[in-house]
Amino acid sequence: MTWAATVLTLYPEMFPGSLGVSLAGRALADGIWSLDARNIRDFTTDKHRTVDDTSAGGGPGMVLRADILSTALRGAGGTGPVIALSPRGAPLTQRRVRDLAAGPGVRLICGRFEGFDERLFTGADAVEPVSIGDYVLSGGEPAALVLLDACIRLLPGVMGATQSGESESFESGLLEYPHFTRPATWEGQSIPEVLRSGDHAKVAAWRQARSEEDTRLRRPDLWERYSSARGRSPSGARVEEDE
């Protein structure tokens, strides 16, 4: 069954963009996933094809109208959850990506201007706001490409080695361990001896330890959740279980 992506945007020419090459591009050509990028303006009724209006209460910028977006969403069809890309949304996580990739597809609404009329999220269409990070883009299209790329690479038949995705960052709640390759020594830096030992148990233990160390130092937010899940404090001290 083909995983279907429907994108509502003011700039459909931005798609498939980077998704038209490499693994995603081959998967698109092979029919593993499909893409339908629709122009929101095609669902307007006035001669100016208006999709936005001024913000209630005043202020700079324009706001995308909920009624126009709802009409576009229903008219475009598609399948799967409806997600609006917005910096005000919940952060996109690997767990959410896996859930989306396991479903029939996704419908995306790309924000522009000052964002969406809030009633879009409280109406009858069950629209979920999602953010790809704590920064602001000029529009939701790059965010949509990111979300789709994250999902597509998990679809069956896209990645050559299915195990490639199982040890990556965020899959276990940790950042991925560091990698090394030839030459064995470069600019005075050598590959850790344990990785050349041939002892798979020691290699696995080293990788786990480095994943934990790098996560603790670089992403204390992830380390907090990971440690709590294992019954430990962020310092690594064992928490006594209630008797």
Same-domain status, 102 and 50: yes
Number of domains in the chain: 2
> Which of 126, 152, 178 delimits the end of a domain?
152
Do residues 25 and 141 share a domain?
yes
The mean pLDDT value for 84-92 works out to: 97
239 is a domain residue: no
Query: How confident is the model at residue 230, as a pLDDT?
Result: 80
Mind listing the pLDDT tens digit for each residue in 175-228? 999 999 999 999 999 999 999 999 999 999 999 999 999 999 999 999 999 999
- Does the pLDDT of residue 17 top 60, yes or no? yes
216, part of any domain:
yes
The chain-wide mean pLDDT, for the chain, equals 92
- Averaged pLDDT, 42-58: 97
- In terms of domains, do 96 and 204 share one? no
Q: Is residue 142 part of a domain?
A: yes
| Domain co-membership, 82 together with 171 | no
Confidence at residue 164, expressed as pLDDT on a 0 to 100 scale: 55
Residue 165: pLDDT band (50, 70, 90) is low
What CATH number corresponds to the domain at position 89? 3.40.1280.10
Residue 235 lies in a domain: no
Asked if residue 81 is part of any domain, the answer here is yes
Residue 207 lies in a domain: yes
| Structural domain that includes position 216 | 167-229
**Per-residue confidence (pLDDT) for residue 160, from 0 to 100:** 76
pLDDT at 169 over 70: no
For the chain, the three-class secondary structure string (H helix, E strand, C coil) is: CCEEEEEEECCHHHCCHHHHCHHHHHHHHCCCEEEEEEEHHHHCCCCCCCCEEECCCCCCCEEECHHHHHHHHHHHCCCCCEEEEEEEEEECCHHHHHHHHCCCEEEEEECCCCCECHHHHCCCCCEEEEECCCCCCCCCHHHHHHHHHHHHCCCCCCCCCHHHHCCCCCCCCCCCCCCCCCCCEECCEECCHHHHCCCHHHHHHHHHHHHHHHHHHHCHHHHHHHHHHCCECCCCCECCCCC
* Stated pTM of the model: 0.89
Q: Give a yes or no: residue 159 inside a domain.
A: no
Q: Look at residue 243 in the predicted model and tell me its pLDDT.
A: 33
The verdict on 18 and 87 lying in the same domain is yes
Residue 79 within any structural domain of the chain: yes
